[in-house]
Amino acid sequence: MDRLINIDRRIIFIFIFLGIAIPLLVDIHLPIKPTPTVRSVYDEIERISVEDADRPVLVSFSYGASTVPEMVPMTRAILRHLFSRGRKVVGICLWPEAVGIAQPIMDELAVEFGMEYGADYAFLGYKPGNQAVVLNLGQSLAGTFPFDAAGTPVGELAVMKGVRNLKDFSFVFDFAAGDSMEFWWIPFGQEKHRFPFAGGCTAVMAPDLYPFLQSKQLVGLLGGLAGAAEYETLIEAPGSATAGMEPQSVSHLIIILFIVLGNGVYFTTRRRGGKA
Amino acid sequence: MSKIASWIAVAGVALHAAAGAQVPVDIVAFDTPNDAGASLTITWPRAETAVVSGYRVYVATAADGPFRLAVESATPGLKSGEPALFGYDDDNKRFHVVHITDYAVGETDEPAPLQDGTLYFVRLGAQTSTGEVLGEVASAVPGGNWFNTAKWNNIVLTIGLSVCILFFISKARRKDLFIRRIAGLEALDEALGRATEMGKSVLFVHGLKGMDQIPTIAAVNILGRVAQRTARFDTDLRVANVDPVVMSVSQEVVKEAYLKEGRPDAYRPDSVFMAATEQFSYAAAVAGMMVRERPAAHVMMGYFYAESLLLAETGSTTGAIQIAGTDAYTQLPFFVTTCDYTLMGEELYAASAYLSKEPKLLGSLKGQDVGKALLIGLLFVGTVVASFGVDFLTHLFAAL
Amino acid sequence: MLFMTRTLPFLFCFAFGMTGFAIYYVPHEWAQSVEREFALWLRLVYAFAYILGLVSLLSLHWSKIRQRQAGWAYSLVVYISFGVMFLFVVYNDGNGPFTSQATTGPYQWMFTSIHVASSATMFSMLAFYISSAAYRTFRARTPEAAILLVSAIIVMLGRVPIGAYISDVIPDTMQWLMSVPNMAAKRGILMGVSLGAIATSLRIIFGIERSYLGGGGD
């Protein structure tokens, strides 16, 4: 019993490893049911594609290398949806690492959907300043990002025509692995200028952002790999997030089984009068 | 034949007049309130019947024109959609509102923005099946505003809370203020004592945010108190940093603490060091330190991200006593499950007052508590009245 | 000297703090242009902080190498890694440093295959750590701990497809737990933290709190 109470954590690690590795090798498919917070993002993009199709969408990348497995699938899903609806997209980065991650994805998906750089989409690169960048964007986009990532003045990009500041975008979406949604975009952007705003974040951050959903400062939220998988289901384009759901399900089950085992051993030991 | 034609013409005029009579087109124009300027707002009553297919707003710089198109809309907004400007009156649903910031000057030219201080003449045209019905001309002068009246509730609350906090700070100088026991901080002495007895070091970790952030300022305050105690007990202190500015401030704080305790000789500059500048490099470096050097106590105070669990779980395997404090809501569960004591949310900010018992810090804490009591009372009353359909408190505190 | 190290920073802090406070309530173009300038200056400070961080990191590791302190070989790895990445950034896949960053080439390969891979690996360790932490600490010792335990199980199941596969009640309960108790707790903590932040900010603006200057009492 003592050994079960103080089980070597490496045994738990092995089970978790197998729980993630085996489902990746075996072909199992569990049905994915989108949650209301994810569906809201989908519905909003569908709505603006009909009601506000002339104005571009701003996409902000605020994540780094460590959160690529969680954030890249939702980046692909959202961009895929936007491009498939013919939406013009402008991308910016508020984290320096995001440039090397997001730009190739935008370019790759743009080619897939026949989007032309400059006319249908643009990538403006990274600017330091965190919330100061959002503040400046609310006043003047050209003043904050005078050139795109390739050095072209933004005034020369057709996709930027008529865009003076944040209010001229039909929708703003932030991919956040840190503070960007709660401490930059919402207080310095959405609260001041009241544009439709939604975001995707790592799973651990999602509970932090629920109050903003209820106050309607966030239209919707994609939380972690599960949120990305739900979105892939909605756009009917399963990708790495959907493939990751089976390993995630099995690993959650393993953790639950260990918790139940731990509690079983604890209560058994307590009943016998031992120390748990 | 001519008689029939004339009857048709009269009927046409009568129909047109009848259509116009049903379409309210007389506007009220004024400078848009609570803005930076260069904007006018016009309102007019909503048409009761569906005779209008769209509206056009024309602007001129002279009363007799020429009027140029400024806004065209099939479905202009309602006053009820802008409570910041018009409040929550039920009547607002019966009025349209449009904001004008520029108007066309030519077919192909860019629209000209409105200029502050210039008198503009505005006219509304309603598109009906029988043609456009034009209303009377109204005029207004756009200009910037010096106070956002929609934020009056915010400024009253802010000033009220600030006065409350400053009042208690000044009162604390004359009177002792009670502060409840915070278990994690009571245990700090125990942790430092344990480290001293075992002849091992104390590891202090500030979290990942910069010196301009409140949690880091709170953490540095706590570091000062911890450093004073380690100087007093002659315990080795190790402070791992991720930010160079925080490192410089921490070095000064620790040096000052050792000076205060009369132990300047005991201070070692390399006790406060940069572990790494990246989140997971930092986590790996500190975790490695925990396993190799085996400090007896880990004090983790500040704002943490994903590295919190890596640090706390690694620390728990070494058998060290762990005291954590963070206002990062999502990291609290990880600290609670892996640390011996956890300071949650504002307990981190209270820690400095608790440890130093400085009157101004205690007074500030008291002021916060009064503010919190007020908020709790308002929440309770607001919930009750809103449950009965009375919205005035909800509207009073709405962020507009 | 005391004026430069103590009084002048207080004056700056007070002036900028009060200006920032006032700007929030003043919509006039004058106030907005001040806000614009402040935000631009803040961005410059952030940009310079990167240089400061780099210099600090390199000098720390240089002193470790020079003094042959324990683990100095790892400091050498830092220098070599920095040098190699820097060289390939300047090379820029043959385009040189004065054109925009290439999205292909050795630098992009190293970024994706080394930096992204190692960073993601470190982050992934959390999966193992949470499982061992959960086994060790999720014990129903008290009624509150039991409620926490049951909630954790429901949320863990509800967040993945297997929960909906078992029963539709699980994701619905998970959604309720996230939207009601979780949000209530988050809001409570947020309000307390915000009040604490207001109090700390007031103390900083009025010069009562001076720890950010380094050293000195409160």
- Enter the tokens of residue B273: 């060091």
Measured between CA atoms, the residue of chain A closest to residue C116 is A65
Locate all alpha helices (DSSP H) within B96-199, ordered by sequence: 152-172, 183-198
Residues B101 and B182 in one domain: no
3-state helix, strand, coil in chain A (%, to 5): 60, 10, 30
pLDDT of residue B49: 72
Mean pLDDT of chain C: 88
Q: Over range B10-39, report the average pLDDT.
A: 72
Q: Looking at residues B329-344, what average pLDDT do you find? A: 89
Phi-psi region of B165 (alpha: psi -120 to 50; beta: other; left: phi over 0): alpha
A167 with A99, same domain? yes
CB A62 within 8 A of CB A176: yes
pLDDT higher than threshold 50 for residue B9: no
Residues B31 and B120 in one domain: yes
**CB-hemisphere CA count at 13 Å for B343?**
33
- In B67-106, the residues whose Cβ lies within 8 Å of chain C are none
> Which residues in chain A touch residue B330, judged by CB atoms under 8 angstroms apart?
204-205, 207-208
pLDDT of residue B110: 76
| CB-based contact C27 B220, cutoff 8 Å | no
Q: Where are the alpha helices (DSSP H) in chain C?
A: 2, 8-25, 29-66, 72-91, 106-110, 117-137, 143-158, 161-166, 169-179, 181-205
Question: Residue B204: which CATH number?
Answer: 3.40.50
For residue B74, report the phi and psi dihedrals to the nearest 5 degrees: -80, -30
Which B residues, 228 through 257, put their C-beta within 8 Å of a C-beta on chain C? 243-245, 247-253, 255-256
Compare CB distances from B330 to A9, A191, A208 and report the shortest one's residue.
A208
- What 3-state DSSP class applies to B100? strand
Question: Tokens representing B120?
Answer: 């503009």
CATH code for the domain of A169: 3.40.50.10160
What lies within 8 Å, CB to CB, of B270 at 6+ separation is none
Asked whether residue A167 carries a pLDDT value surpassing 60, the answer given is yes
Looking at the fold, whether A111 and A75 belong to one and the same domain comes out as yes
A222 and A102 housed in the same domain: yes
Residue A19 covered by a domain = no
Q: Do the Cβ atoms of A204 and B306 come within 8 Å?
A: yes
The residues near C127 (Cβ < 8 Å, ≥ 6 apart) are A16, A20, A251
For chain C, the structural domain boundaries read 1-69, 72-137, 140-208
Residue of C nearest to A253 (CA): C157
Question: How many domains does chain B contain in total?
Answer: 3
- B184 within some domain: yes
Mutate to test the interface with A, among B110, B308, B330, B337 (most CBs of A within 10 A): B330
Question: Are A222 and A95 within one domain?
Answer: yes
Mean pLDDT of chain B: 87
* Domain with A112 in it: 36-238
The per-residue pLDDT for A227 is 96
pLDDT value at position B7? 53
Q: Is residue B172 part of a domain?
A: no
- More confident of the two residues B18 and C26: C26
Which residue has 């920095």 as its token pair?
C82
Q: Exposed, middle or buried: residue B301 (CB in 10 Å: 0-12, 13-18, 19+)?
A: buried
pLDDT classification of A276: cutoffs 50, 70, 90: very low
How much is the ipTM here?
Answer: 0.85
Please indicate, yes or no, whether residues B197 and B336 belong to a single structural domain of this protein. Answer: yes
Assess whether B332 and B225 both reside in one domain. Answer: yes
Nearest to B217 among C25, C136, C212 (CB): C212
- Shortest alpha-carbon distance between residue C106 and chain A (Å): 13
What is the identity of the amino acid at B125? G
Q: Which residues of B touch A207 (CB under 8 A)?
A: 329-330
The whole domain housing B382 covers 149-167+364-396
CB atoms within 10 A of CB A196: 20
Q: What phi and psi, each to the nearest 5 degrees, are found at residue A147?
A: -130, 160
**Whether B39 contacts B141, CB under 8 Å:** no
B with C: how many residue pairs have Cβ under 8 Å apart? 174
Given an 8 Å threshold on Cβ–Cβ distance, is C134 in contact with A258? yes
Q: Are B238 and B385 within one domain?
A: no
Name subunits touching A (3+ CB pairs < 8 A): B, C
C-alpha angle C21/C22/C28, rounded to 5°? 135
Where b means 16+ CB within 10 Å and e means fewer, A247-275 reads bbbbbbbbbbebbeebbebbeebeeeeee
Q: Rounded to whole angstroms, how far apart are CA atoms A220 and A197?
A: 8
CATH number at residue B34: 2.60.40.10
Please indicate, yes or no, whether residues A175 and A105 belong to a single structural domain of this protein: yes
- pLDDT for position A138: 93
CB pairs under 8 A between A and B: 14
Which residues on B lie below 8 Å from C213 (Cβ)? Answer: 249, 252
Residue among C88, C133, C95, C137 nearest C113 (CA): C88
* A204 shares contact with chain B (CB less than 8 Å): yes
| Distance, CA of B235 to CA of B248 (rounded, Å) | 21
Identify residue A39 by its one-letter amino acid code: R
Structural element, H or E, at residue B48:
none
Partner-chain contact A211 C190, CB within 8 Å: yes
Based on the domain organization, do A214 and A118 belong to the same domain?
yes
Q: Quote the number of domains for chain A.
A: 2
Asked whether residue B127 carries a pLDDT value surpassing 50, the answer given is yes
pLDDT of C22 reads 92
Sheet containing strand A121-126, strands side by side: A121-126, A89-93, A57-62, A171-176, A197-201, A221-223
Q: Considering the domain boundaries, does residue A274 fall inside one?
A: yes
Which residues have a Cβ under 8 Å from the Cβ of B335 and sit 6 or more positions away?
B300, B304, B308, B312, B324, B326, B342
What average pLDDT does range A44-48 have in this prediction? 96
Q: Which residue of B has its CA nearest to A204?
A: B330
Q: How far is A24 from chain B (nearest CA, A)?
A: 25
**Is some CB atom of chain B closer than 8 A to the CB atom of C144?**
no
Sheet holding B95-100, edge to edge: B28-31, B40-45, B95-100, B77-78
Of B280, B339, B348, B357, which to mutate for an interface test with C (greatest number of C Cβ within 10 Å)? B280
- Mean pLDDT value across residues A145-170: 94
A119 and A86 in a common domain: yes
**Residue B52: left if φ>0, alpha if ψ -120 to 50, beta else—which one?**
beta
Both A232 and A275 in one domain: the answer is: no
Q: Which chain C residues in 72-111 lie under 8 Å from chain B, judged by CB atoms?
A: none
Is the separation of the CB atoms in C211 and B252 below 8 Å? no
Residues B192, B327, single domain; the answer is yes
Q: Is B396 exposed, middle or buried (0-12, 13-18, 19+ CB in 10 A)?
A: exposed
pLDDT top residue among B147 and A8? B147
Q: Are B135 and B248 found together in one domain?
A: no
* Cα angle value C208/C211/C215 (rounded, 5°): 120
Does the pLDDT of residue B176 top 80, yes or no? no
Q: Identify whether A29 is part of a domain.
A: no
Query: Of A66 and B8, which is predicted with more confidence?
Result: A66
Residue window 45-104, chain C: list those with CB within 8 Å of chain A: 46-47, 50, 99-101, 103
In a domain, B203, yes or no: yes
**A173 and A220 housed in the same domain:** yes
Give yes or no: residues B105 and B198 share one domain.
no
* Whole-angstrom distance, CA of residue A212 vs CA of residue B317: 37
Q: A254-275 pLDDT, tens per residue?
A: 999 999 998 998 888 888 775 4
Tell me if B323 is assigned to some domain: yes
The beta-carbon neighbor of A207 closest among B317, B330, B399 is B330
Alpha-helix residue ranges (DSSP H) falling in B67-182: 83-86, 152-172
Task: Give the separation between CA B381 and CA B393, rounded to whole angstroms.
Answer: 9
* Domain-located, residue B131: yes
Model pLDDT for residues B214-246, shown as the tens digit of each residue: 899 889 989 998 999 999 999 999 999 998 889
The CA distance from A61 to A94, in Å, is 6
Residue to mutate among B305, B307, B337, B397, with most A CBs inside 10 A, is B305
Digit-by-digit pLDDT tens for chain C (218 residues) are: 788 888 888 899 999 999 999 999 999 999 999 999 999 998 998 888 888 888 888 888 898 899 998 789 988 999 999 999 999 999 998 888 888 888 888 999 999 999 999 999 988 888 898 898 888 888 888 888 889 889 999 999 999 999 988 998 999 999 999 889 998 988 888 888 888 888 888 888 988 877 777 654 44
Residues B189 and B263 in one domain: yes
**Contacts for A127 with CB less than 8 Å, ≥ 6 apart:** A92, A93, A94, A133, A144, A145, C43
Residue B185 pLDDT grade (very low, low, confident, very high; cuts 50, 70, 90): confident
* Test the B interface: residue of A205, A216, A217 with most B CBs within 10 Å: A205
Q: Global pTM?
A: 0.87
- How many helices (H) and strands (E) are present in chain B, helices listed first? 12, 17
pLDDT digits (tens, 9 = 90+) for B54-67: 999 999 999 988 99
In eight-state DSSP terms, residue B139 is: E
| Confidence band of B2 (pLDDT split at 50, 70, 90) | low
Q: Is the pLDDT of residue B173 over 80?
A: no
Is C43's CB within 8 Å of A107's CB? no
- Supply the pLDDT for residue C218: 42
Q: Do B233 and B320 fall within a single domain?
A: yes
For the cut 90, the answer to whether the pLDDT of residue A222 exceeds it is yes
In this structure, the answer to whether residues A133 and A91 fall within a common structural domain is yes
CB of C126 less than 8 A from some CB of B: yes
CA distance B157 to B166: 14
Give the Å distances, CA to CA, from C217 to A106, A225, B214: 52, 47, 17
Q: Do A138 and A59 share a structural domain? A: yes
Pair B198, B331 in one domain: yes
Do B290 and B163 lie in one domain? The reply is no
Q: What is the pLDDT of residue A2?
A: 67
- Chain C neighbours (≥3 Cβ pairs under 8 A) are A, B
